[in-house]
Every structure is written in structure tokens, then in C-alpha cells.
Amino acid sequence: MDRLVHTALNSLANLRDSRTLSAQNLSNMAVPGYRRDLQNEGGAHFLTALQAQTGRAFQLERGPHGFSRAPGPLERTGDPLDLAIADRGFFYIQPPGGGEPALTRRGDLQPGPDGTLINGAGEAMLNADLQPMIVPPFSRIMVDEVGQVSITPLEGGEAVAVGVLATVDPDDALDLRKSLDGRIRMADDSPLPPPDQRARIVQGTREGSNVNATAELIDSIELQRTFELNLRMIQTAREIDEAGASLLRMPG
């Protein structure tokens, strides 16, 4: 009987993690370039008693969650500071206040007070040398498909190239995960691959989150049904246990 109860409780613990993940995806659905978090595969663990395995197997979390690399919807805005990666690849960014570089798909840019290009999260966009991309005051800015940034100075004249936005199209086998700060880095904390400029950039376009609201809501409904089923299993185990105990009571 206790095996039934503990199995249901283990399932409820895993459902809690799944519901948290689904809620986080839905809350970030409007964030440009957000990558949908995925549930990890987990692993099985057998309890031991008296130095021997028992018949109780539990599912446990194993490692950090992955994320979906599927592209999000592209929205044509016409703003020259809105950049999107057409298919595969990532921009390089540096978190506010410094820190290890990371990858992102977010491209809603604006120049900071010191001329550094930053995205909507305040992250500095990095150039091909993995240094913050600094852009002088301009009247017009142009970014080509490989990420080269050219500006027309405020005083006019010909366009001047000021640098190249670093991009990379990592191999699918590369184990990229979200760090504790929510930014994409290597799972083993090793350095990111160097820029290869293979990602195709589209100017005047913004990429949305790749979270599908309909799919997330359907998953939430299924999780709620599974949660109620596990509660019913615990209630049934209680009823069976009480019925068995009543049979053992002395008459009268």
C-alpha cells in the first residue's frame, strides 16, 4: 500500500516541476527572442534497504533543463535597430555589469549612453572580437546579413563601417543550456564556440518568443488532470488501507 502512496507522491513532485516550467514559458511568451524551456529527461533510482535494492523505483531530476532551438515568429517592424536571425544561430551578448558572455536571439536594440548597442534586456551586443559593440552618433544605421554595422554620421557624408556583430551557428550536438541567470551558455561552463558569422541577420525585423501559447495551455490542462488523478490514487490507497484495518478489528 505504501508503494502506491509513495509512487503517487513522486509523480506529484515531478508535476510540480512541470507546472513551474509551463508557467515560466507562458510568462515569457511576449519577450522577444525567448527560448522555450523544455523538461529534462530525468532518471530512475531504486531505493535500497539492508544493502539490497527494493522494488520501489522513483523518477528523479537529472541535470538542468534544455531549451527549444526552434525559431520564433518574425515581425516586420521597419525599425533599423530591430534585428532578427532568419533561421539558425545566436548573437553574442554580455550581461549588464559584466560577466561571462552568453548567447541570445533577442535583437531589439538601442544605443546606450556610451554608444554601446544593447538589447531590451540591457545586455551589451558583442562584436567579432567579443567586445561590446560601440556605435558613434549616427543619422542612419545599416546592418547587412553577416552582421557588419555601417552608419551615416550625424554631419552627413558616406557610410562608415564601425564593426561586425558576432554571431554563431552552433552544431546541434553542442550541449547548450540556460545558466542560472537564464542566459544561454555551455552546459559544462566551458568557453562558447568562437563566432563564425554563419547566421543570417535581417534588419527591421523582430523575432518573438518561440513559446506556443495553445500548446502550453493544453499541457497545463493535462498536468492538472494528472495532478487530480494522483490525488485520487492517494485517496484510494487511504480507503483501501482503512477497509483492511476494519477487517482486523475485533467484533463489537
Q: What mean pLDDT is predicted for residues 24-42?
A: 86
C-alpha span between 196 and 127 (Å, rounded): 12
**Which pLDDT band, with edges at 50, 70 and 90, does 58 fall under?**
low
Same-domain status, 201 and 94:
yes
Answer yes or no: do 177 and 135 share one domain: yes
Same domain, 13 and 91: no
Please report whether residue 57 resides in a domain.
Answer: no
Q: Which of 188, 134, 189 is nearest to 162 (CA)?
A: 134
Q: Is residue 105 part of a domain?
A: yes
235 and 193 belong to one structural domain: no
Q: What are phi and psi of 247, to 5 degrees?
A: -70, -25
Same domain, 118 and 157: yes
* Same domain flag for 12 and 95: no
Whether pTM exceeds 0.85: no
In this structure, the answer to whether residues 128 and 239 fall within a common structural domain is no
Do 82 and 158 lie in a common domain?
yes
| Residues 241 and 203 grouped into a single domain | no
Is 230 a domain residue? yes
SS3 for the chain is CHHHHHHHHHHHHHHHHHHHHHHHHHHCCCCCCCCCEECCCCEEEEEEECCEEEEEEEEECCCCCEECCCCCCEEECCCCCEEEECCCCEEEEECCCCCCCEEECCCEEEECCCCEEEECCCCEEEECCCCECECCCEEEEEECCCCEEEEEECCCCCCEEEEEECEECCCCCCCEEECCCCCEEECCCCCCCCCCCCCCEEECEEECCCCCHHHHHHHHHHHHHHHHHHHHHHHHHHHHHHHHHHHCCCCC
Bridge partners for 66 per DSSP:
38
pLDDT in tens, 61-110: 555 678 999 999 999 999 999 999 998 999 999 999 888 999 999 999 99
pLDDT band, very low/low/confident/very high, at 138 (cuts 50, 70, 90): very high
Cβ within 8 Å of residue 50, ≥6 positions away: none
Residue 66 located in a structural domain: no
In a domain, residue 65? The reply is no
Same domain, 85 and 115: yes
Percent of the chain with pLDDT over 70: 86
How confident is the model at residue 56, as a pLDDT?
Answer: 60
Number of domains in the chain: 2
| Enclosing domain of residue 6 | 2-39+212-247
CA distances from 110 to 11, 96, 106, 183 (A): 46, 14, 12, 20
pLDDT in tens, 5-30: 666 767 767 777 778 888 889 999 99
Per-residue pLDDT band at 49 (split at 50, 70, 90): low
Amino acid letter at 3? R
Residue 49 lies in a domain: no
Say if 22 falls within a structural domain.
yes
Most confident of 2-6, 75-79, 240-244: 75-79
> Which residues have C-beta within 8 Å of that of residue 228, sequence separation ≥ 6?
none
> 190 and 235 share a domain?
no
Among 31-35, 124-128, 143-147, 155-159, where is mean pLDDT lowest? 155-159
Calpha distance 104→226 (Å, rounded): 34
* Same domain, residue pair 24 and 101: no
* Predicted pLDDT at 85: 96
Q: In which band, very low, low, confident or very high, does the pLDDT at 142 lie, cut at 50, 70 and 90? A: very high
> How would you label 18-33 residue by residue, b for 16+ Cβ within 10 Å and e otherwise?
bbebbebbbeebebbb
pLDDT exceeds cutoff 90 at 249:
no
